[in-house]
Amino acid sequence: MTSFAFRQPPVVGLPVVGLETRFPVRRVYCIGRNYAAHAIEMGHNPDREPPFFFQKNPDNLDPSGEFPYPPRSSDVHHEAELAVMLKSGGSDISVESALDHVFGYALSLDMTRRDLQGGQKKLGRPWEIGKAFERSAPVGPIHPVSLVGHLSSGRITLKVDGELRQEGDLKQMIWKVPEMISYLSEYFELAGGDVILSGTPAGVDSVDRGNVMEVEVAGLGAMKVKVV
């Protein structure tokens, strides 16, 4: 047994529907601009160009149902996303075999300090302060593939206080889930516990304290998250 110089940080464990055991998080990859209509609203080309990814931290994933409005920002945006949880991984995974590595799917939010992200973009700097802040990725319980199968189409929506803000269909993803897994595995060694946030449809916008965000994906139910 390794002994540590001080108390080791806990492994983040996410609840799984139908199981007492939790999903241990290893890494969090997020794809940018994966729905054409969202690429356009952000001022970018919607064509299928090579994908790009950024990362959040494992402990940014938060199943609590509350999102604390983060410091140092006055423009925090919601991005409703389908999260893909891996049970295994490797390098150079083929598109054909990629889904064999998926453990399950969950509703998630890629919360973004848009003002800080925008400043970093202008300077050509990394996005972490806009993306990888505390509790920046609210996430619902994981639905295992054994219960829900694989999701390649179906409506994805986000409401704020009951008003529809984001709407799309999973089939509009520019890079499909198996393609994302395969692509990432060319650059990183993937492993069980890795999480991929698969991008957001059009309609991203600001939230304020007191708002209730509700994400829905067909087949996965709904997740409510209150901004506090």
Instruction: Enumerate binding residues for Mn ion (CB under 5 A).
Output: 79, 110, 200
Distance of closest approach, residue 164 Cβ to Mn ion, in angstroms: 19
Distance of closest approach, residue 67 Cβ to Mn ion, in angstroms: 15
Q: Which is nearer to Mn ion, 182 or 198 (CB)?
A: 198
Q: Which is nearer to Mn ion, 52 or 100 (CB)?
A: 52
DSSP one-letter string for 136-161: -EEB--BEEHHHH---SS-EEEEEET
Q: Which is nearer to Mn ion, 117 or 200 (CB)?
A: 200
CA dihedral 126, 129, 132, 136 (to 10 degrees): -140
**Distances from the Cα of 98 to the Cαs of 65, 101, 167, 187, 210, in angstroms?**
30, 6, 27, 15, 40
| Distance, CA of 90 to CA of 209 (rounded, Å) | 41
Q: Which is nearer to Mn ion, 166 or 200 (CB)?
A: 200
What's the one-letter identity of residue 146?
S
Residues in the chain: 228
* Beta carbons of 185 and 90 less than 8 angstroms apart: yes
Q: Which is nearer to Mn ion, 16 or 113 (CB)?
A: 113
Distance of closest approach, residue 31 Cβ to Mn ion, in angstroms: 7
Q: Which is nearer to Mn ion, 114 or 159 (CB)?
A: 114
Distance of closest approach, residue 54 Cβ to Mn ion, in angstroms: 9
| Distance, CA of 29 to CA of 57 (rounded, Å) | 9
| Distance, CA of 162 to CA of 60 (rounded, Å) | 26
What residues have CB less than 8 Å from 198, skipping those under 6 apart? 31, 34, 81, 82, 83, 84, 170, 173, 177, 180
Distance of closest approach, residue 78 Cβ to Mn ion, in angstroms: 10
Q: Which is nearer to Mn ion, 157 or 200 (CB)?
A: 200
Distance of closest approach, residue 110 Cβ to Mn ion, in angstroms: 3
The residue number whose beta carbon is nearest to Mn ion equals: 110
| Distance, CA of 208 to CA of 74 (rounded, Å) | 9
Distance of closest approach, residue 5 Cβ to Mn ion, in angstroms: 36
